[in-house]
Structure 1
Amino acid sequence: MPRWRLENREQPLRWGWLTAPLAAVLATVILATGLIAWSGAPVAQAYGLMVQGAWGSTFAISETLTRATPLILTGLAAAVAFRARLFNIGAEGQLYIGAMAAVAVGGQQAGAAEFTGSVAWLTFWMVLAGASAGAAWLLGPAWLKTRLGVDEVVTTLLMNFIALLLVSMMLDGPMKDPMAMGWPQSVALWPELEFSRLIERSRVHSGLLGALMLALLLWIVDRYTTLGLGLRAVGANAGAAAFAGLPVRRLTLITALMSGALAGLAGVGEVAGRTSYLTLDMSPGYGYSGIVIAMLAGLHPLGVVASALFVASVLVGADSMSRALGVPTYLADVMVSLALLCMLVTQMFTRYRLRWVRPATGSPA
């Protein structure tokens, strides 16, 4: 009986890096259309409301950009790690650890009368503390992988729960705000340390510019430096890279430091740019969404920016659609998950193709 067979392509599709994410987004929209229709809402109106809710006004644009800022950083964290075959699933925990370190440096500690330090200097130390804390949180699993061969997927995932428990302990202990009336939140940052607003009377802050600059910097490093070449070589084949004389262990640890620091900076941005204090519900899963964003971008640093804007548009626009039509807001999470699955399928077809074969002869039809 004739059947389909999956075969290797002689060469990957030339424009696969561009067609794969576009095809994944199109497939996601088509599949989500069925879910919207199933809910009883008019499909065209639903998508119109989603676009309008994400980009239809200054307020909508500012909210989309605000949501995209931490997504760009967690997406970069995942992309940097995955490109070197370090599967960092712990960006969520690294984000919270970075935010906690930022508050520890720049928070209004109990008993302090007024802020008297240099704003620029203390801001630098606050940002550095957040990045360093996120990097250190990933360094442990990376060391276990390089020295003992421990699977980093398991360790980084479990470190997320440890990070949340640690933050919970600190919010109920040394970092608890005595003026929060029992609510588990940290002391606030000094107002002088909060990031400036890019749009007046909005929440979009200068952390967005920093995220864009980091995306450009990482692309330059990846494309034009020996470090980027080494990381790509380790990701392509660690055994061959070691045989060629590359320090695979050291490059893996450097990757861990870069990835963890980026996720930690996402936490700094959320505290200094949006909330001004730390809570356990500060992130709605930015660390996990960063994995989807990195895969949609094909692990390309500049593609991460476009992917983050797409995911942020879906998340923000779905809220507007839900309020107007009564469609569940969980549709946004479903669309993000579908985008990841569709991207994996489309990436597969850039390297493989289906052939219709006759088992009797074994030759293509």
Structure 2
Amino acid sequence: MIRFEPRGPVAVSKVISVTVAAAVAALVLAAVPMLFAGLSVFEAYGLMIKGAFGSAFAFTEMLTRATPLILTGLAAAVAFRAKLWNIGAEGQLYAGALAAVAVGTGLISGPSFVLIPAVILAGALMGGLVMLGPTLLKTRLGVDEVVTTLLLNFVILLFVQLMLEGPMKDPMGMGWPQSEPILDKAALPKLMDRMRIHWGLIIALISALGVYFLLKRTVWGFEIRAVGENASAARHAGVPVTATFIRVGLLSGALAGLAGVGEVAGLKGYLTADLSPGFGYSGIVVAMLAGLSPIGVVFAALFIASIFVGADSMSRATGVSNYLADLIVAMALLCVLVSGLFLRFKIRFVGAPHAKEASK
């Protein structure tokens, strides 16, 4: 008979070591399909490392891919800390991108120091408002936010497609469903010449530090952690549970909206329906790999981004599908979930009481 017994507080060093071990285990497990594909495992991983870190261009591409993952990872992490299960970062990303394009293509005029903050604020505000609806449904009516946030992803993407085929369609886009380009004065500056890396990375890093300070050093952060541990006990202790959920929902959606701002105002320059290859969903994996730690989110996002960018490079060199990256990410999540079980519980094997009685 197997019995799960809760552990006491777990040291941060043990959490980090288990997370690293889970990532390594995912890479080891992913070697099995590589062997079936006829690849040399060491050669394949060597090509992936070279593709993500082998040159300045490769490294900056990895950082560019990590930028939205940091923000969507933070969106998931801060919501999950309060046990508000936000699965809608993908839709909130698109909502933020849509608002950024609406403001950045001429809705208001002014110099860069006015337009850039306006674009950022519009995207964050729209992302937060999208998450506000499911949060209110949860707190007022008890509606499961997993369902509402997940379904909203598809609703928002369809609305974006509607806008790109209608009022926001670029008349100079040769018939392609895309928005007008964002004005140069509203675009996020590049961090390096002739590279795609942009100031969205700085915004993401500042956001990670801000969320860390919020959770660790403020009363609001204590309330978030208290609600996440036990909402009923927190309410009994005087914590405004409903208000805390609403604040967390707005913050989570705003962070995901910022990811959309970075993609349109810093990278692509205009909005299309295929803006995101699933950054919102990958952000959940990032948050889980990080153990919901804001600083850990940065490192987890770098790991996931290096897998994606490296797999693209390896695919071009070997002809093997880059879906291998999705396999590694999925295995990493499964390994982290299993390792989390062992962190939270001790497993004991005890004799079955009925068997002892029968022996008598």
* Fold match (TM-score > 0.5): yes
State TM-score, norm by structure 2: 0.96
Partner of 2:46: 48
Residue number among 78, 83, 98 corresponding to 1:85 in the alignment? 83
Identity, % of aligned pairs?
Answer: 56
Residue number among 190, 197, 209 corresponding to 1:216 in the alignment? 209
Amino acid at match of 1:59: F
Amino acid at match of 2:280: G
| Cα separation, 1, equivalents of 2:127 and 2:112 | 23
Answer whether contact 1:8 1:352 (CA < 8 A) is retained: yes
Shift of 1:283: 0.2
Answer whether contact 1:297 1:303 (CA < 8 A) is retained: yes
Secondary structure, counterpart of 1:129 in structure 2? helix
Partner of 1:347: 340
Whether 2:4 is the aligned partner of 1:11: answer: no
Amino acid at match of 2:80: F
Counting only pairs closer than 5 Å after superposition, residues 161-310 of structure 1 correspond to structure 2 as 161-310=154-303
Answer whether contact 1:95 1:267 (CA < 8 A) is retained: yes
Amino acid at match of 2:287: A
| Cα separation, 2, equivalents of 1:87 and 1:351 | 20
State TM-score, norm by structure 1: 0.94
* Deviation digits for residues 18-52 of structure 1 (CA, Å, limit 9, x no counterpart): 12211210110110011111111000000000001
Amino acid at match of 1:8: E
Shift of 1:108: 4.7
Partner of 1:119: 112
Partner of 1:159: 152
Summarize the Cα distance change of 1:128–1:10 in structure 2 as closer, same or farther, 3 Å threshold: closer
- Greater per-residue helix proportion: 2
| Cα separation, 1, equivalents of 2:259 and 2:10 | 34
| Cα separation, 2, equivalents of 1:10 and 1:269 | 41
Answer whether contact 2:3 2:350 (CA < 8 A) is retained: no
Amino acid at match of 1:322: S
| Cα separation, 2, equivalents of 1:10 and 1:123 | 48
Answer whether contact 2:289 2:300 (CA < 8 A) is retained: yes
Answer whether contact 2:104 2:182 (CA < 8 A) is retained: yes
Secondary structure, counterpart of 1:355 in structure 2? strand
Secondary structure, counterpart of 1:136 in structure 2? helix
Summarize the Cα distance change of 1:44–1:124 in structure 2 as closer, same or farther, 3 Å threshold: same
| Cα separation, 2, equivalents of 1:16 and 1:155 | 35
Structure 1, 275-284 or 32-41: larger mean CA deviation? 32-41
Shift of 1:117: 1.6
Question: How many residues were matched structurally?
Answer: 354
Shift of 1:304: 0.2
Secondary structure, counterpart of 2:23 in structure 1? helix
Residue number among 62, 84, 89 corresponding to 2:60 in the alignment? 62
| Cα separation, 1, equivalents of 2:219 and 2:356 | 50
| Cα separation, 2, equivalents of 1:222 and 1:10 | 23
* Deviation digits for residues 72-130 of structure 1 (CA, Å, limit 9, x no counterpart): 00000000000000000000000000000001001157xxxxx9622211211111110
Answer whether contact 1:194 1:273 (CA < 8 A) is retained: yes
Amino acid at match of 1:136: L
Amino acid at match of 1:86: L
Answer whether contact 1:108 1:187 (CA < 8 A) is retained: no
Residue number among 121, 124, 136 corresponding to 1:128 in the alignment? 121
| Cα separation, 1, equivalents of 2:271 and 2:332 | 30
* Deviation digits for residues 149-195 of structure 1 (CA, Å, limit 9, x no counterpart): 00000000000011001101100111000011110000000012211
| Cα separation, 1, equivalents of 2:37 and 2:190 | 38
Answer whether contact 2:69 2:282 (CA < 8 A) is retained: yes
Secondary structure, counterpart of 1:273 in structure 2? helix
